[in-house]
């Protein structure tokens, strides 16, 4: 039996890489999926087609979630497509944008990175929570960088993901009495466009070699964990920040 049959799931940044895998797996479990994207229109269309072809239900919504107008657009489109209740929210929007050491960061870049990784998560959740009831689940995407400070030129990115980790714990306390669970997943080196663009091959090879499982993770690895946290199989788990890094770092 599909674990999320008839449920509504919103996935921000759901068009490609980890977001795509999450969207596909939620749909495969029976969820009606709202996929948000900003600039990846062709990828969003591809992901929608994959879900449609598999017999799932999905709608795609272009919205810049660093802006309040975009947040409102996503909420309105979700309600228009699937009604007034959301059961799963995955805050996946985010990115490193560029590697910059502290002395290279100007105010514009600072605001862009914080808005992308932190502001979007905060205000999307603020917007969607009123549509959530007992049993709903929020899953935030943090990062191994939140634990270890990130690689070269990633201190600001790491700090923004550290904020997500802390926010997750605070929200677990705030929304728990309503029966809403809030967790975060913290991926390590995952084979995605993120590292294709910003991490040299030599570093990726070295990191994989230091990882006990001796490989990079896949987007599906992360999606498997997210789907678990989205379902009632994790009904007594909240406030956690789950590492998914092949054993590269752990508590």
**CA distances for 163 relative to 18, 142, 214, 234, angstroms:** 20, 9, 29, 23
Count of CB atoms situated within 10 Å of the CB of 107: 7
Average of pLDDT values for 11-26?
97
Rounded to the nearest 10°, the torsion over CA 2, 136, 67, 153 is -80
67-76, 107-116, 143-152: least confident range: 143-152
Q: How far apart are CA 101 and CA 99, in angstroms?
A: 7
Q: Look at residue 249 in the predicted model and tell me its pLDDT.
A: 80
Helix, strand or coil for residue 179? coil
pLDDT of residue 195: 64
Residue with the bigger pLDDT between 203 and 172: it is 172
More confidently predicted of 215 and 235: 235
228 part of the active site: no
**pLDDT tier at 1, thresholds 50, 70, 90:** low
Residue 88's CB: how many other CB atoms inside 10 A?
Answer: 27
pLDDT for the residue numbered 157 = 97
Per-domain boundaries in the chain: 8-244
Residue from 37, 82, 118, 157 carrying the catalytic annotation? 157
Cα 229 from Cα 232, distance rounded (Å): 8
- For the ranges 102-116, 126-140, 194-208, which has the lowest average pLDDT? 194-208
Burial track 228-237 (b if 16+ CB lie within 10 A, e otherwise): bbbbeebeee
What pLDDT was estimated at residue 189?
Answer: 73
91 pLDDT tier (thresholds 50, 70, 90): very high
DSSP letter for each residue of 6-61: T-EEEETT-SSHHHHHHHHHHHHTT-EEEEEESS-HHHHHHHHHHHHHTT-EEEEE
pLDDT in tens, 20-57: 999 999 999 999 999 999 999 999 999 999 999 999 99
DSSP structure class, residue 193: H
Q: Which residue has the tokens 């992308």?
A: 116
Give the global pTM: 0.94
Q: Is 244 helix (H, G, I), strand (E, B) or coil?
A: strand
59, β-bridge pairs: 34
pLDDT exceeds 60 at position 61 = yes
Report the percentage of the chain scoring pLDDT > 90: 84
pLDDT of residue 199: 67
8-244, CATH topology level: Rossmann fold (3.40.50)
């Amino acid at each position: 039996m599909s674990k999320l049959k008839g449920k509504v799931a919103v996935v921000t940044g759901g068009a490609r890489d980890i977001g795509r895998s999450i969207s596909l797996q939620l749909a495969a479990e029976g969820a009606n999926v709202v996929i948000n994207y900003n600039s990846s229109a062709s990828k969003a269309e591809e992901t929608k087609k994959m879900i449609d072809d598999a017999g799932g239900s999905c709608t795609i919504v272009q919205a810049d979630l660093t802006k309040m107008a975009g947040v409102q657009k996503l909420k309105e489109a979700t309600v228009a497509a699937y009604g007034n209740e959301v059961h799963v929210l995955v805050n996946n929007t985010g990115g490193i944008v560029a590697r910059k050491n502290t002395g290279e960061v100007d105010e514009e870049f600072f605001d862009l990175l914080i808005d992308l990784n932190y502001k979007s998560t905060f205000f999307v959740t603020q917007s969607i929570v009123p549509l959530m009831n007992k049993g709903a689940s929020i899953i935030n995407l943090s990062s191994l960088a939140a634990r270890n400070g990130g690689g070269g030129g990633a201190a600001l990115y790491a700090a923004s993901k550290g904020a997500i980790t802390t926010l997750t714990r605070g929200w677990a306390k705030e929304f728990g009495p309503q029966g809403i669970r809030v967790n975060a997943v913290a991926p390590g080196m995952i084979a995605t466009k993120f590292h294709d663009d910003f991490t040299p091959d030599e570093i990726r090879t070295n990191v994989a070699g230091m990882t006990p499982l001796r490989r990079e993770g896949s987007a599906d690895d992360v999606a498997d964990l997210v789907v678990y946290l989205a379902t009632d199989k994790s009904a007594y788990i909240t406030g956690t920040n789950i590492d998914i890094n092949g054993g590269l770092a752990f508590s």
